[in-house]
Structure 1
């Protein structure tokens, strides 16, 4: 049931802090409601986790990060930097508290509850992209028909099939078919003979995330929005009738503020009662020449390596989860781990010709759910904590939050995402 929120009158102006997919989608949706927006970004649009994302718009795979299997990977990660999930050993009480809370959600019962929330969101995720396209965002999304989940054997594939069936039971709408290695290679010749089984997943899409976020920024500007680049935000204050946003370029005032700073959410929103911690779950990616690489979105599921055609003769290779400080530099061992895991299944790639090596801090919450909605102030809102799904769900969460801000009535889908939960 919708709940009332927000200031007593519809806001006429907003400051959005953060120019990634989530922040810009929120700004664009606020403009749709007639709100004048200023976006403040410490670097430039798509500079953070949005840029190097794998670019999959895959409602079938947009699942809760806390799962029983995550505990198994967590134990392995403590001893091996080559593991798909890695926790660099260091004294970090804050991370220890995050992991303790995270593990409490890694139960089958809790996963089913979280998955039902994701199922509700996923039903509308692609529609949110269609709305952007229909109203002026020029960069397209592309159908992945099908996208491939590749495995060495049918036994290895069985775990993924079980996960897909569990997701269906939680309300996901998933169309897939198990296929053998020969059929997989017919669809994707880049796969080696080591691939003995696969899943053909239907109804998914993909995009070039950097290009899309830049196109979204252009659309916000074309509607009259301002984007202040290379501008740091140090504080947000509620003045009673408006907010004041303190930046390195001076103070901005508006009716409301939205904080969408990804892995850096905590510092700005904690004064407004948001206690759910946001931890950087760093993902790695790089691009390789298209020759010899997959021509369609392809996921080496056991290795947790994703390949996405970007166009322009390049394919993005992405993977890994590293729980480490957001500003930590690239760890070359993580790149080598991706290459070592993928090379036997994708032998035609020129791995030495990789470029655009990147690490980005995906903002993770202990329960895996985003933080979308009001804070303790009726004029300060949050949109963040999407984990790996900021690109997949950003346009939808931006649309839902903008509706709540502009109308004063929160859509029911936002109830489990409340930042003060």
Structure 2
């Protein structure tokens, strides 16, 4: 999403673009995510609840947070830095930095639609469910914090949640309705964005992987096979794999793969609205006639294989809260590596190599913030101007 949105917006300036894609369009985290366009939930991942939740989660095999016990100095350094941002002061600082781009995120999807991207975005409502009122306190505190920072996020108590989401079981006794947000089917949407880039004269080269990006008279991309390509500008938008190319260019902020899992199931009643179970960290979305169930924040290396135990953990958490679902008839089991930074801010801007830029590090919010990121970075590439909305995302910070 991030790379293609940047390419599309560069085309708005008349720039000729070529996209090098290691795997193919809508692979990685742009495929199996929940497809939520929820700027009202694009918030810092670390908050004060981390200090009480994380120790319990590390001892609970079914918890959403999972960290393998292994010798990995880089991982434990990342976790220490991430935890240091688990304060209210840090949360407010990060939320203030995210709010400007959050506020334009949905408008940027409308701009893509007006410009010929043939894919829909759909309004909620989102149904937020809890087994008891006490479990809702953290969610309410987050939404109130987002509103305090300037976003309009309508939410209200929902007394008949099964009218909107019959997939919720009777165990869900307390619920909210969240409005002002949207959702998409992520893979079809990203494929439509790629089609639009191609229709406007862009090139997309699948199965092409960069080994190194350098700068001299012009930026140069060296491919795995040794071939080289020159360009006026290069944008590195490789998600959790960004450090391989960006670290030699002065981007020292850690990017850790925070891997999410998902699968789809059939439901007895048609799924019409997204469902969120915050206490269990489970997000559900209608997807091509089925119901996509997503969850887990697993800190592993981005290329590691899918861990079936994490799928089981999501099912174990969801089984009593969802009804009319046969969890044994799953399809589309998936793991994707979301790029998480310690301070919760993306990396968007120019590296120390002139003409070489990065766009990534959005954590769980790359889908919703992708078009806005592409728009503002394209402006930076072409005009040299840094919009205030991306100034806090300086990759050299």
The TM tier, using the shorter chain, reads: over 0.9
For residue 142 of structure 2, what is the aligned residue in structure 1? 163
For residue 338 of structure 1, what is the aligned residue in structure 2? 314
Aligned length: 396
For residue 376 of structure 1, what is the aligned residue in structure 2? 352
Structure 1: distance between partners of 2:368 and 2:273? 18
Structure 2: distance between partners of 1:223 and 1:53? 27
Partner of 1:401, secondary structure, is helix
For residue 152 of structure 1, what is the aligned residue in structure 2? 131
In the TM superposition, what is the alpha-carbon distance from 1:239 to its structure 2 partner?
1.4
For residue 274 of structure 1, what is the aligned residue in structure 2? 251
Gaps of 5+ in 2: none
1:159-308 matches, cutoff 5 A: 159-180=138-159, 183-240=160-217, 242-248=218-224, 250-292=227-269, 294-308=271-285
Gaps of 5+ in 1: 1-20
For residue 103 of structure 1, what is the aligned residue in structure 2? 83
Structure 2: distance between partners of 1:54 and 1:91? 32
TM normalised by structure 2 equals 0.97
Structure 1: distance between partners of 2:99 and 2:177? 20
Match of 2:24 among 44, 56, 59: 44
Instruction: Name whichever of 147-156 and 254-263 sits farther off.
Output: 147-156
In the TM superposition, what is the alpha-carbon distance from 1:293 to its structure 2 partner?
6.2
For residue 25 of structure 1, what is the aligned residue in structure 2? 5
Answer whether contact 1:156 1:302 (CA < 8 A) is retained. Answer: yes
Q: Note if 1:139 corresponds to 2:119.
A: yes
In the TM superposition, what is the alpha-carbon distance from 1:340 to its structure 2 partner?
1.2
Runs of 4+ in structure 1 deviating by more than 2 angstroms, as ranges, are: 70-74, 76-81, 290-295
In the TM superposition, what is the alpha-carbon distance from 1:403 to its structure 2 partner?
0.6
In the TM superposition, what is the alpha-carbon distance from 1:30 to its structure 2 partner?
0.6
Q: 1:283 to 1:230 in 2, by over 3 A?
A: same
For residue 408 of structure 1, what is the aligned residue in structure 2? 384
Q: Note if 1:367 corresponds to 2:350.
A: no
Partner of 2:261, secondary structure, is strand
Answer whether contact 2:62 2:317 (CA < 8 A) is retained. Answer: no
In the TM superposition, what is the alpha-carbon distance from 1:139 to its structure 2 partner?
1.0
For residue 65 of structure 1, what is the aligned residue in structure 2? 45
Kindly provide the CA deviation profile for residues 28-81 of structure 1, in whole angstroms up to 9, marking residues without a partner as x: 111111111010011101111110110000111111112111233322233233
Structure 2: distance between partners of 1:148 and 1:49? 24
Kindly provide the CA deviation profile for residues 367-409 of structure 1, in whole angstroms up to 9, marking residues without a partner as x: 0100000111221000000000000101100100001111111
Structure 1: distance between partners of 2:143 and 2:264? 29
Structure 2: distance between partners of 1:73 and 1:90? 21
